[in-house]
Amino acid sequence: MFLEIVSKLVSESLLSLYPIFVKKIGISSSLQLWTRLTTYVLIAIFFVNWSFIKSSLLTLDSITLGLVNLSHIFFSYEGFRNLDSGVSFAIFNSYPLMILLLAGVVWHNSYFLVLLGLAFFIYGNYTEKITTNNNENFGYGIVMILLAALTEAFIYFLVRRIKTTNHWNHVFISYFLGAVIMTAYMVYNYKDFDETVDKGRVGLAVIINGIIGTVGYFLRFYSSYRLEPDVYAPLSYFGVVMSYVYGMLFDNELLNWKKVLGTVSILASNYFAPKGV
């Protein structure tokens, strides 16, 4: 079990780098969307079942998944841009509760802890804005990261509707339509981007997406098939801890009691919520 646990912790450490990556890479949201979408598709083509792809790619479920996933990535990137790394990652982790509610699970009192956590974050931002006169985009960031969590919940149900045991098929279908849309957008606006874009940063974005995406998700899949839910789920929250660590190391973000209580409240809600869908 040691190897499986290490795999899970490493995967969460890699994937929780995304908030910092989004802020620090220094390219537009459009380019970030395009590099992620195309990189994942190009990697997935080596592992998919092409007969399944041909029969499934143009179905309503697949098209819906592609559009929802494109929206999800945009929402998450905007949320990461406008919130501290740990705050955005903690709020994003409200998506398991959204899955339960969308599945028809009766409201449980533990869900109030999510609202309490959001209240701590909002209060913390309010007091910080008074003392530093910044964080003008906090409200926008909150809305974006909540939409990212909601679309993540939608993705869970859409993926389950596409029946395949090869998860690379899911990756390809999730990202292909978005990659086509964003590639068309980039070609149409090529002259504008060609004059202003740092091509070295775009290349770096492709490499980082490839590393974070392929290694991070492979290790997540590996551990998910070998760890029981009561072990796997708590380890998922290691990513929230690491997002705070990365924020302090690379973006000079500060940790205070309001962020700590907000994060603990959201994670506690996940812990005490009824299990099973």
Q: Torsions phi, psi of 45, nearest 5?
A: -60, -20
Q: Span 160-165, mean pLDDT? A: 85
Q: Supply φ then ψ for residue 2, to 5 degrees.
A: -60, -45
The predicted pLDDT at position 130 comes to 47
CA dist., res. 73 & res. 77, Å (int): 6
Amino acid at 57: L
Residue 116 confidence (pLDDT) above 50:
yes
Coil vs helix vs strand at 9: helix
For the chain, what are the domain ranges?
Answer: 2-272
d(CA 45, CA 257): 46
- Cβ atoms < 10 Å from Cβ of 45: 14
**C-alpha pair distances (Å), 217 with each of 13, 95, 200, 223, 262:** 11, 18, 25, 10, 27
Tens digits of residue pLDDT in 257-272 = 888 888 888 778 766 7
Phi (first) and psi of residue 125, to 5 degrees: -65, -40
Take residue 136 and report the two structure tokens written for it: 């003008």
Asked whether 247 and 253 are in contact (CB, 8 A), the reply is yes
CA-based torsion, 191, 196, 202, 203: positive or negative: positive
Of the two residues 80 and 272, the one the predictor is more confident about is: 80
Task: Determine contact, residues 62/173, Cβ cutoff 8 Å.
Answer: yes
Tell me the pLDDT tens digit for each residue of 196-246. Answer: 667 788 888 888 888 888 788 778 767 766 777 556 666 777 777 888 888
**pTM (two decimals):** 0.80
pLDDT at 181: 95
More confident residue, 251 or 17: 17
The two counts, helices (H) then strands (E), for the chain are 16, 0
C-beta atoms surrounding 38 within 10 Å: 20
